[in-house]
Amino acid sequence: MTGNETSTAGTGPATGNLLLAAAPIGRPEDASARLRAALAGAEIIAAEDTRRLRRLAADLDVPIAAKVVAYHDHNERARAEELVGELLAGRDVLVITDAGLPGVSDPGYRLVRAAVAAGVPVTALPGPSAVTTALVVSGLPTDRFCFEGFPPRKPGERARALEALAAEPRTMVFFESPRRLDRTLADMAAAFGADRPAAVCRELTKTYEEVRRGPLGELADWADEHVRGEITIVVGGAPEPAGLSEPADLAAAVAAREEAGTPRKQAISEVAKANGLPKRTVYDAVVAARG
């Protein structure tokens, strides 16, 4: 870790440093020399799973002399206050999760916010990330991307969240449980279109790593089989709209489909997909036209 810094510009007592340490997402040998040194020299280690921390340390042949405390989703708020107290008392704290970088769909964000508010120096020990690893092996554009974490678990909430992303032009990265993968991919196909390119990355950097690429509709069919392991989904961004955009034109397109016998809800969905727009945009156009 770096040396102590003052909590304000040259005034006030010295505080400890908060270090966010990236852990390997698969193989222990991917750990950096800096991570080994940081674990060996830490004063306090806040670990998402203390058993997995000790297993990693054993794999790396690193002795742990630090005080080790559990820091996970269920105690994050209370533990953050306790750890800030340690930092303000001048002790360094290293945060490590089971895999990847703390704060990215893992505990860490609340502690960072509290440490920043308290004037505590915060730094990161960079390393593996499932987000960027999946992105670069997906074969999808990498120049602009966004990370959306885990989609909502409840079907209705998940469908609405994905629908709100239908027009997102950047490549999107998601985490998902293997138990919900088939349903999530089916919802993505419904929201983004069955032909939207995507990749399902399973067990990245591990022995049984697998990257399955294809249209969302095909991937949803494939995921009907039982899929195991850590899952990261990468979805291509929405293509540039090549069709209608004016509200009056969108409303007219919906009306034409209704006259042909298509139910209004389905007609709105079809027009939205055909023009690379969220269904809400088309719905609002229909409401405005009828008003």
Q: What residues does each domain of the chain span?
A: 5-128, 131-235, 247-290
176, two tokens: 């998902």
**pLDDT tens profile 15-33:** 999 999 999 999 999 999 9
pLDDT band at 198, cuts 50/70/90?
very high
pLDDT band at 2, cuts 50/70/90?
very low
**pLDDT tens profile 44-98:** 999 999 999 999 999 999 999 999 999 998 998 889 999 999 999 999 999 999 9
Identical fold, 5-128 and 131-235: no
Q: Which residue has the higher pLDDT, 196 or 277?
A: 196
Fold of 5-128: Cobalt-precorrin-4 Transmethylase; domain 1 (3.40.1010)
Query: Out of 1.10.3720.10, 3.30.310.50, 3.30.950.10, 3.30.565.10, which CATH number does the structure's domain 131-235 have?
Result: 3.30.950.10
| Res. 193: pLDDT tops 70 | yes
Q: Which residue has the higher pLDDT, 3 or 96?
A: 96
**pLDDT tens profile 96-121:** 999 999 998 888 999 999 999 999 99
DSSP state of 106: S
pLDDT band at 13, cuts 50/70/90?
low
Per-residue pLDDT, 249: 87
What is the overall mean pLDDT for the chain? 91
**pLDDT tens profile 211-260:** 999 999 999 999 987 788 999 999 999 987 667 778 888 999 899 888 88
Per-residue pLDDT, 242: 60
Q: What's the CA gap between 54 and 153, in Å, rounded?
A: 31
| Res. 209: pLDDT tops 90 | yes
